[in-house]
Structure 1
Amino acid sequence: MTERKTSEAQLKANKAYYENNKEHASYLKKRSSARSFVRHNATKEDIEELIEIFNNENPNAK
C-alpha cells in the first residue's frame, strides 16, 4: 500500500470544510471544470456562444 502525503488530520479538516461549505465548494468545482473546458477543448464557436449566454442570461453580466 502506498503512503499518503497528506496527513489524516488534514484530510479530516478538508472533509469538514467541504461539508460545511457545500455551496462554495460546488461553485469552485464548476468554475474549475469550466476553465479546463475553455483552456483545452473549446472551439471559437463555443467561446462565442458562452459570451452570448453570459451577456444575455447571466445576472452577473450587468
Structure 2
Amino acid sequence: MAEKLSEARTRANKKWDEKNKERKKYIVKRSTARGFIRNYATDDDLAEMLALISDRHKQLKEQNDEQ
C-alpha cells in the first residue's frame, strides 16, 4: 500500500515541481515512453522506435562533433 505523504512533503514536492518545470516535463515524458515500450509496444512500434532512436543518435553525434 502506498503511504500518504505528509503535508510538508506534499508542499516540498509542489515547490520542486514549480521550480523545475522543464525537468519535471522531461521525467514525465521519459516515464511515459518507457511504460509504453514495456507494456504496449508492438513489433512494428519497436521497429519504428529503433529507427527514430538511430536517427536521434546520429543527430546528437553531429551536434557534439560541431562543438
- TM bin, normalised by shorter chain, reads 0.7 to 0.9
Q: Which has the higher helix share?
A: 2
Deviation at 1:47, TM superposition (A): 0.8
Provide the TM-score with structure 2 as the length reference.
Answer: 0.77
Which string of whole-angstrom CA distances, capped at 9 and with x for unpartnered residues, describes residues 21-62 of structure 1?
A: 000100000000000000000011111101101212x234x3
The count of corresponding residues between Structure 1 and Structure 2 is 57
CA RMSD of aligned residues (A): 1.3
Provide the TM-score with structure 1 as the length reference.
Answer: 0.83
Identity rate of aligned residues, in percent? 42
- Indicate the residue corresponding to 1:50 in structure 2: 49
| Unaligned ranges ≥5, structure 1 | none
